[in-house]
């Protein structure tokens, strides 16, 4: 199966997963910015990976637009979303359900991969949004234990990425 991984990454976690998948599946991976140059008709399987922002997946609209035609042409389609939340966080399943309808899931397989936060590599706009978000969480008087844990977690950089999540995606490309 000829596969390709297209990834969009700001601070490196989605890129790291793309490289892990490409290595395990012996296929190429390319940055989203280069995707316009690709002829997707050349591939049997197309994997799109990007990071989560406020419950959405950045640049997913680009891939979603192409999914029906690619599926009709018999392509295998996979999306992986990388976020700062651990996979067990119930918000992850809720967001993924909202972003991908049952109809979408007939043509695309969806994975969530825990990434982390890297404040050193984050751009100014993202840093500002995170500052506002942490402030709101910290000032919440009726915060749940999960919210308190999350507020502590995202107050600094951390890495919870794990190659096992990439291997599960690569297994789909055999
Ligand atoms: C403004 C902003 C909003 C975010 N929103 C979410 C979110 O809703 N859910 C989540 O799991 N992670 C969220 N994150 C965390 C990123 O998805 C996480 O840092 C991811 O690993 C970044 O991937 P990258 O290194 O490929 O850019 C957010 C990060 C930023 C900067």
Q: What is the pLDDT of residues 110-153, one digit of tens each?
A: 999 999 999 999 999 999 999 999 988 888 889 888 888 888 99
Q: Calculate Rg over the CA atoms of the chain.
A: 17
Residues lining ligand 1, Cβ inside 6 A:
9-14, 51-55, 82-85, 115-117, 122, 126, 129-130
User: What confidence tier does 60 reach under pLDDT thresholds 50, 70, 90?
Assistant: very high
Measured at the CA of 9, the angle between CA 56 and CA 120, to 5 degrees, comes to 105
φ and ψ of 130, to 5 deg: -70, -35
Ligand 1 atom 27 nearest Cα: 10
Q: How many separate domains does the chain show?
A: 2
Please check whether residues 113 and 146 belong to one and the same domain. Answer: no
The beta-strand segments (E) located in the chain are 3-8, 28-31, 45-53, 56-57, 76-83, 109-114, 116-117, 158-159
Please check whether residues 139 and 66 belong to one and the same domain. Answer: no
Please check whether residues 38 and 95 belong to one and the same domain. Answer: yes
pLDDT digits (tens, 9 = 90+) for 2-21: 999 999 999 999 999 999 99
User: At 28, which CATH number?
Assistant: 3.40.50.360
Which tokens belong to 104?
């979408």
Give the per-residue pLDDT at 93.
Answer: 96
Query: What is the rounded average pLDDT of the residues 21-32?
Result: 98
Ligand 1 atom 16 nearest Cα: 83
Give the per-residue pLDDT at 145.
Answer: 86
**Contact present, 122 and 81 (Cβ < 8 Å):** no
- 89-103: b or e for each residue (b if 16 or more CB lie within 10 Å)? beebeebbeebbeee
Q: 11: burial class by Cβ within 10 Å (0-12, 13-18, 19+)?
A: buried
> 144-148, 156-160, 167-171: lowest mean pLDDT where?
144-148
Which tokens belong to 83?
């976020």
What residues make up the domain containing 91? 3-118+159-173
Query: What is the rounded average pLDDT of the residues 28-46?
Result: 96
Ligand 1 atom nearest 161 alpha carbon: 21
CA of 162 to the centre of ligand 1 (A): 16
Give the per-residue pLDDT at 138.
Answer: 84
Give the per-residue pLDDT at 147.
Answer: 84
């Amino acid at each position: 199966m000829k596969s390709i991984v297209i990834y969009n990454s700001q601070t490196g976690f989605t890129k790291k997963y793309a490289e892990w998948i490409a290595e395990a599946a012996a296929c190429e991976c390319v940055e989203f910015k280069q995707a316009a140059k690709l002829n997707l008709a050349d591939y049997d399987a197309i994997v799109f990976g990007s990071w989560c922002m406020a419950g959405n997946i950045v640049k997913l609209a680009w891939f979603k637009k192409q999914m029906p035609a690619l599926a009709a042409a018999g392509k295998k389609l996979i999306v992986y979303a990388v976020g700062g939340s651990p996979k067990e966080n119930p918000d992850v399943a809720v967001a993924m359900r909202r972003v991908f309808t049952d109809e979408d899931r007939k043509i695309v397989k969806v994975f969530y991969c825990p990434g982390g936060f890297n404040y050193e590599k984050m751009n100014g706009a993202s840093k500002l949004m995170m500052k506002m978000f942490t402030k709101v969480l910290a000032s919440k008087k009726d915060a749940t234990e999960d919210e308190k844990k999350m507020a502590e977690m995202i107050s600094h950089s951390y890495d919870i990425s794990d190659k096992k999540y990439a291997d599960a995606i690569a297994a789909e490309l055999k």
